[in-house]
Amino acid sequence: MTDRFSLKTYAFFILALLAVMLLCVCIGSVSIAPKDTLTAVFCTLLGKEVPAGISKNIILNVRLPRVLNVALVGAALSLVTFALYTFWLGDMDATIAQRIPTALTIAVAVYITVIVAKAIGCTLPLLAKAVHLDPALMASPLITTIVDICSLLVLFSVATEVLHV
């Protein structure tokens, strides 16, 4: 028996990531139904007219670019981390081929951490509002603590998967 993730687990995490990204686009000072968000995105991609009554400008010009920006920033940070660890910061006694698995582990963990941080920062104030608390209560200290804990869990999970430790 191996300790590797199954294909179903990977599919679950990918679907969870897409659901969180959809949630981040839908929820804000103006709530937009997920159906309307998906309709606006797919109509735009297919070159069709977005139906009236859907907040096309908010979805396509404000929220979607912010979510995509998070994905791109995470990817850029991952690539820089991978390059830094592989070529400059890694164990200089090891060959580059020996440094790649560790660099890959750190890079993937950084990318996932950026996405998780965005999701937590987006959802915690909304949860506070849902239970009739001031969303400002969920500001910096709580979000930072939760993101730090999740970051460590992500790093350990990725290290277990990639490095088999």
Q: pLDDT for 101-150, tens place per residue?
A: 888 888 888 888 888 888 888 778 777 877 888 777 777 777 888 888 98
| pLDDT, tens only, 10-27 | 788 788 878 888 888 887
- Whole-prediction pTM value? 0.66
pLDDT of residue 2: 52
Assess whether pLDDT exceeds 50 at residue 164. Answer: yes
Give phi and psi for 55, each to the nearest 5: -75, 75
Flag whether pLDDT at 1 surpasses 50.
Answer: no
Kindly list the distances between the CA atom of residue 101 and the CA atoms of 11, 66, 106, 161, in Å, as whole numbers in the listed order.
23, 31, 9, 11
Count of Cβ atoms closer than 10 Å to residue 10 Cβ: 11
